[in-house]
Each structure stands twice: as C-alpha cells, then as structure tokens.
Amino acid sequence: MFIEKAEVLISSPGRNFVTLRITTDDGVTGLGDATLNGRELAVAAYLREHVVPLLIGRDAHRIEDTWQYLYKGAYWRRGPVTMASIAAVDTALWDIKAKAAGLPLYQLLGGRSRDGLLVYGHASGAELPELFDSINEHLEEGYRAIRVQTGIPGLPSVYGVASSANARTGSDAGTDARYDYEPARRNAVPVEESWDTRAYLRHIPGVFEAVRNEFGPELPLLHDGHHRMTPMQAAKLGKSLEPYDLFWLEDVTPAENQEALRLVRQHTTTPLAIGEVFNTIWDYKTLIEEQLIDYVRSPVTHAGGITGLRRIFDYASIYQIKSGAHGPTDVSPVGLSAAIHLGLAIPNFGIQEYMRHAPATHEVFRTTFTFANGMLDAADAPGLGVEYDDEAAAAHPYEAAYLPVNRLLDGSMHDW
Ligand code: GCO
Ligand code: MG
C-alpha cells in the first residue's frame, strides 16, 4: 500500500484547523491534525513544501520508519512546527493502517484497557455565582471532573474565563452562543491582557474553598496556572491549595525550565501536571526521571503523533506518572479522536481534557466518538472514526487569529 496523495486542508469552522489527508494507491484515506494555534500557516507550509513531496510513493504501512525519516532526516530536530507536522503524518498513517485492518485504531495499539476515558471540562466565571452556574451546567451534562478558573479582582479579563468579551468574532459572530472559552481571537494582531501574580495568589485559595464548600469533597477539581508563576510563587500556591485536594495543578511555571519543578515539588503535595507546550520526550526527561510531575499533558497533535506520545506515556508509566492529554478546542476532532484511541489502550491513563468543539466544527469533522456519563469512548468504526467534509469546509476559509499576549501592570511582557 503506497502513499499516492497527501493534501493539506485548512479550514476555519468556528476556529482555524490544519488537517493532513493522506490517500493510498488503493484508495484508503487517513487524517492527521496539524493545528498549531496562532501559527497555523507555518505548519501548513512545512507540510506542503517539505514533507508532502517526501511522502509520495512511500509504503503507507511503515509508520515507525516514516516517523524516524522525518525526525532524523530534517537534521533540525524538535520544535512545535516540525513535531506537529510529523504528528499529522503519523496519525494519518495509523488511521490508514487501522482502516486497512478493518479495526478501530485502539485495537492496533493493544486493545482496550478500560471502558472509556474519564474527562474534565472547563468551568469558569468572572465571579463566584457565575462559576457555580458553570460548574452546575457541566455536572448536568455528565462531567465528573471540573477545571476551575475565575476572574481576578482588578484584572479586566484573564486566561480561562469565558465571557461575552470572549465571544467569537468575524464570520462566526453570533452563531455559537454556547458559554465556552476560546482564547484565540480573529484579529490581525493579538489582543493584550494584563496580569498581576500577587493578586492571583491572594484570590485563588478562597475560590477553591468556596467551591469545596458548595460542591463537597468528592468532585475532582483541577486548575491551570498557565506558566505564569516563579517557582516560589508556584510552591506557595500548591501549598495553599492542599486543603482543597486538587486532582492537579497545571503549568505552574514556564515549561522550558524542567529544573524549576524541583523547588515546587519540595514544598507541596498538590499533584502537578505539565507539558501542553512540549513536543518531544526530551522535554520531559528530568521531570519524569526525578518524578517531579504526576501527569503528562502533551496531545497527540503536538508531540509527534501516536508514535511520539505513546513513547512518552510508556516512559512515564515506569515512574507511576499518568496521562492527562491536552484537549482544548485548538486540538481538532482528529487530534481528539487520536487521543481517545490512545487513552483507551495505554496502561497509565489518568484523565483527558474535553473542552468540546463548536457545532460548526462538527459539520466539517464528522466524528463517531461518544460522550456519556463523563466519559469519552471510541466507536467501533475502522480507523480513527473521523471523516473530513470538504464541502462543509469550503464555507469556512482561514481567518487570521491569535492567542492574546500578557503584560504586567507596569507594561512589561509576561507569560500569557
Ligand atoms: C488548556 C490550555 C489551553 C491553551 C490553548 C492555547 O489547558 O487547555 O492551557 O487553554 O491556552 O490550547 O492554544
Ligand atoms: Mg493548560
């Protein structure tokens, strides 16, 4: 079975997505997600100009060899653009292999290790009453684990909090009234937000106290620090949240410095998750070997596909570290489906983030996975179980969109 065609598909149903579709000489197609939020066209060009020409004529079954060929063969290794491109090829080839075998992909990865994937949803509110409404809505929809983000007094808009100001703009304005958080805005330049870590650290413990008082001790609660703290600030936050028994505290410090987590770890027993911006196993080396984290956050889409992420999860498993794959709306339904198949198969599954895509997204990406009782599950369709509707996609051309940038109150740039 040889690769005959590889198409880079760019569409914007609710938000921008880059998808790779590989077709074999006997007509089998496979999909891979290559979406890199705010830098989509760089990955599209990397694929179109430098990867697609190398794929034509290759044996579609040789997934590992193709992975190594693209990773070692570029000479310039790693990085989000390269690894998202490799991920898209890898995922599409797994989709093809599973379709050729007539099996859902998880069967090729070793078969089911569990009945479904426990997921967490995103609840948020500028103030507590809005946050409580959002948690209640999630519970009514079946969610059994909740990420909690709130506004910070004195800051007009902060990461993770849905509000009317975050409503989608551009061609989809007003078409998706759902109360969701989508950080990328359709703008020619990034929106600027402001940040004050001390105000944040003063506010958050009280929020978790209020949520525990309202919803009781059992509900798994998560929180995302979005890489904004120094190690000592992170240690302080982890310690102050211990009474509220978090499932995890995510991305406390800028992720480039793995050693920073040593200091955080010495001071708190709050479980730590990191890795959504990582793209290879090397980014985790110190964190995993020294057991500085509890959950690995990379998605299939940004960490070299099923092949790359499986290797990271296996490495983590020998240190009792579990998976917690990134699943925001900027991971497409193809990337999410890949995570579902992988999560069903691995021994050390922890939890899956599930933010839900907009209805327009599902018109382009026809999915078969199910969500019930707080769990995601793959259907028995062969492959990944996703098809791409070209006609629906044509109605949603690419529109530039950027993630916000962040400034401290004195105007200095800070991690967003
Ligand atoms: C998460 C992430 C996202 C990112 C987004 C950037 O935990 O889901 O932090 O909200 O900000 O994926 O593109
Ligand atoms: Mg995050």
pLDDT digits (tens, 9 = 90+) for 364-378: 999 999 999 999 999
- Least Cα distance to 397 among 8, 15, 7 occurs for 15
How many CB atoms within 10 Å of residue 53? 10
Is the Cβ atom of 330 under 6 angstroms away from ligand 1? Answer: yes
Q: What is the pLDDT of residue 162?
A: 84
For residues 190 and 404, the answer to whether their CB atoms sit within 8 Å is yes
For residues 312 and 83, the answer to whether their CB atoms sit within 8 Å is no
Is the Cβ atom of 225 under 6 angstroms away from ligand 1? Answer: no
Q: What percentage of the chain reaches a pLDDT higher than 90? A: 94
- Which three-class secondary structure state does DSSP give residue 296? strand
* Atom of ligand 1 at shortest range from CA of 184: 13
Q: What is the pLDDT of residue 163?
A: 63
Q: What is the pLDDT of residue 172?
A: 40
Q: What is the pLDDT of residue 169?
A: 38
CA distance 261 to 40: 30
Q: What percentage of the chain reaches a pLDDT higher than 70? A: 96
For residues 256 and 220, the answer to whether their CB atoms sit within 8 Å is no
All domains of the chain in start order, with CATH: 3-103 (3.30.390.10), 117-382 (3.20.20.120)
- Backbone angles phi and psi of 123, in degrees to 5: -100, 140
- Least Cα distance to 309 among 352, 259, 267 occurs for 352
Which residues face 323 on adjacent strands?
296
- Least Cα distance to 122 among 131, 113, 109 occurs for 131
Q: Which long-range contacts (CB under 8 A, 24 or more apart) does 285-289 make?
A: 285/258, 286/258, 286/259, 287/258, 287/261, 288/315, 288/316, 288/319, 288/321, 289/319
- Which three-class secondary structure state does DSSP give residue 272? strand
Taking residues 125-139, report their average pLDDT: 96
* Atom of ligand 1 at shortest range from CA of 37: 13
pLDDT digits (tens, 9 = 90+) for 107-131: 999 999 999 999 999 999 999 999 9
pLDDT digits (tens, 9 = 90+) for 164-208: 434 433 334 444 444 467 889 998 899 999 999 999 999 999 999
Q: What is the pLDDT of residue 209?
A: 98
Which residues face 375 on adjacent strands?
118, 372
Is the Cβ atom of 353 under 6 angstroms away from ligand 1? Answer: yes
**DSSP letters of 62-94?**
-HHHHHHHHHHHTSS--SHHHHHHHHHHHHHHH
Q: What is the pLDDT of residue 178?
A: 43
pLDDT digits (tens, 9 = 90+) for 294-346: 999 999 999 999 999 999 999 999 999 999 999 999 999 999 999 999 999 99
Q: What is the pLDDT of residue 180?
A: 62
For residues 386 and 365, the answer to whether their CB atoms sit within 8 Å is yes
Q: What is the pLDDT of residue 182?
A: 83
Whose CA is closest to atom 8 on ligand 1?
Answer: 328
pLDDT digits (tens, 9 = 90+) for 383-397: 999 999 999 999 999
The rounded Å distance from CA 124 to ligand 1 centre is 14
Q: What is the pLDDT of residue 274?
A: 98
Which residues are close to ligand 2, an ion, with C-beta < 5 A? Answer: 224, 276
**Is a pLDDT exceeding 70 seen at residue 67?**
yes
